Amino acid sequence: EDKVVQSPLSLVVHEGDTVTLNCSYEVTNFRSLLWYKQEKKAPTFLFMLTSSGIEKKSGRLSSILDKKELFSILNITATQTGDSAIYLCAVGYNTDKLIFGTGTRLQVFP
């Protein structure tokens, strides 16, 4: 069965902390892995990864994919209260399938 598992389910940190969110997957014919941030309602795109070992970076956020071990991590350094959100991982597989994980809820307190 194709699946995406995210961990932890929730995380509470203080501003300035660094966090690492995990996404592991088991799918047939992997194509890509995507990260989204869902603050209120609309998930917004963060990164898409297709190759192992190549870090994608945007400001304080970065992500990397390991296609051998079938996982990705999303790092957020120097967290701010505005980083509080649900972070969703999704994996594209087969010809046109996309499967989501349940998400990690991050709360950043001042």
Partner 1 sequence: ETGVTQTPRHLVMGMTNKKSLKCEQHLGHNAMYWYKQSAKKPLELMFVYSLEERVENNSVPSRFSPECPNSSHLFLHLHTLQPEDSALYLCASSQERGQGNEKLFFGSGTQLSVL
Chain residues binding partner 1 by CB under 8 A are 4, 31-32, 34, 36, 40-45, 48, 88, 90, 92, 95-96, 98-103
C-alpha gyration radius of the chain: 13
72 vs 103, beta carbon nearer partner 1: 103
Q: Locate 97 and state its tokens.
A: 């399938």
34 vs 79, beta carbon nearer partner 1: 34
Return the residue matching tokens 């892995």: 33
For residue 70, the minimal CB distance to partner 1 (Å) is 17
